[in-house]
């Protein structure tokens, strides 16, 4: 890996690895062991570290509101830079809404369907499915009754229960208000009228100081971004850090760029990407871009409007031969 990164740098390129917040539950794994000793993981309503599941398997989530979280996070990044000798040039923060990724599983007749039919099915299904969720499971309390190893089956393998007495006869302090489990209002979560806790951190999860996830859910990525910016500045000798995050909040633009998440090369996603990017600028995040899942020339020309998206302009130059004509002289 070091040889690969060194080759990139020798070629004038930069290495910005992608980083998810979930930490695999496994004794002997340094981030997990260090995190347990520092007590930096988000707790469930029973006072134990909340157990979620993503591609690493059973996982805990850092509580970036904890006073020890920033130093613990910095130490994990330092081990990559110093111990592994990998000269990172920035960090790409992903899966930090915190919600589960949406994946469409096509029917068996996939091969006989046209691209237009597949895209149509994708969006019809997407409207009925909770999307962008960094947890395969739903529950106020979840436990791994047997080892849950890394996998990408997108199936919950934890034992989970909802409600004030989930997997426990008594509640730890503070006791979540009953309104947290059934809020006095309803939203069309995921386009399927799902509960606030569907495929994500439950509203009853507890941050440092007894703060419920119900009150700070949208701030999770903002606090993670602040901790990452602080760590990189210290580890890279006060060089200006490069970070971009999938989730953000008002003020995140002071620390990070923002990307809108994966998009398909469809007219629907193309239409949605324009207001998302421009409105982020209104919210104080000037460096914003959209990712694309499937190559399509129409995206490159639209990306010319996204003046901050160097990725898009690079792709345009790489995939299309731009010739200078007499009219340019």
- Catalytic residue, from 34, 75, 162, 262: name it: 262
* Residue 49, C-beta contacts closer than 8 angstroms, at least 6 positions apart: 36, 41, 42, 43, 60
Q: Closest by alpha carbon to 138, among 112, 117, 161?
A: 161
List the structure tokens of 180: 């947290």
Concerning whether 94 is annotated as a catalytic residue, the answer is yes
- Separation of alpha carbons 241 and 230, rounded Å: 9
- Separation of alpha carbons 265 and 118, rounded Å: 12
Give the angle 69-246-259 at the CA atoms, nearest 5°.
Answer: 140
State the sign of the Cα–Cα–Cα–Cα dihedral 192, 252, 258, 50.
negative
Helix (H) or strand (E) holding 2: helix 2-10
* Cα 81 to Cα 2, 29, 175, 199, distances in angstroms: 10, 17, 41, 33
- Catalytic residue, from 20, 44, 63, 94: name it: 94
- Catalytic residue, from 97, 100, 157, 292: name it: 97
Which positions are catalytic? 94, 97, 262
């Amino acid at each position: 890996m070091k040889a690969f990164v060194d080759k990139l740098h020798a070629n004038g390129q930069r290495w910005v690895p992608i980083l998810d917040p979930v930490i695999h539950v496994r004794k002997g794994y340094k981030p997990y062991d260090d995190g347990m000793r520092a007590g930096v993981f988000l707790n469930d309503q029973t006072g134990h570290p909340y157990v979620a599941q993503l591609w690493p398997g059973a996982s805990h989530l850092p509580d970036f509101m904890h006073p020890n979280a920033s130093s613990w996070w910095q130490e994990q990044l330092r081990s990559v830079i110093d111990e592994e000798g990998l000269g990172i040039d920035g960090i790409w923060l992903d899966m930090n809404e915190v919600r589960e990724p949406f994946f469409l599983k096509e029917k068996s007749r996939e091969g006989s369907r046209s691209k237009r039919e597949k895209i149509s099915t994708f969006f019809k299904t997407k409207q009925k499915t909770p999307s962008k969720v960094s947890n395969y499971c739903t529950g106020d309390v979840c436990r791994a009754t047997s080892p849950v190893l890394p996998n990408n089956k997108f199936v919950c393998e934890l034992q989970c229960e909802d409600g004030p007495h989930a997997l426990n006869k008594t509640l730890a302090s503070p006791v979540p208000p009953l309104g947290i489990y059934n809020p006095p209002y309803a939203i069309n979560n995921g386009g399927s009228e799902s509960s606030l806790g569907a495929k994500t951190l439950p509203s009853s999860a507890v941050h440092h100081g007894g703060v419920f996830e119900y009150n700070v859910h949208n701030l999770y990525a903002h606090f993670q971004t602040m901790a990452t910016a602080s760590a990189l500045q210290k580890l890279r000798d006060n060089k200006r850090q490069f970070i971009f995050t999938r989730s953000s909040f008002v003020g995140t633009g002071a620390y990070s760029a923002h990307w809108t998440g994966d998009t398909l090369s469809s007219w629907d996603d193309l239409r949605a990407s324009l207001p998302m990017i421009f409105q982020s600028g209104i919210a104080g995040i000037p460096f914003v871009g959209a990712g694309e899942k499937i190559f399509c020339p129409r995206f490159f020309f639209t990306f010319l409007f996204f003046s901050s998206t160097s990725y898009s302009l690079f792709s345009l130059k790489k995939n299309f031969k731009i010739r200078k004509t007499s009219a340019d002289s």
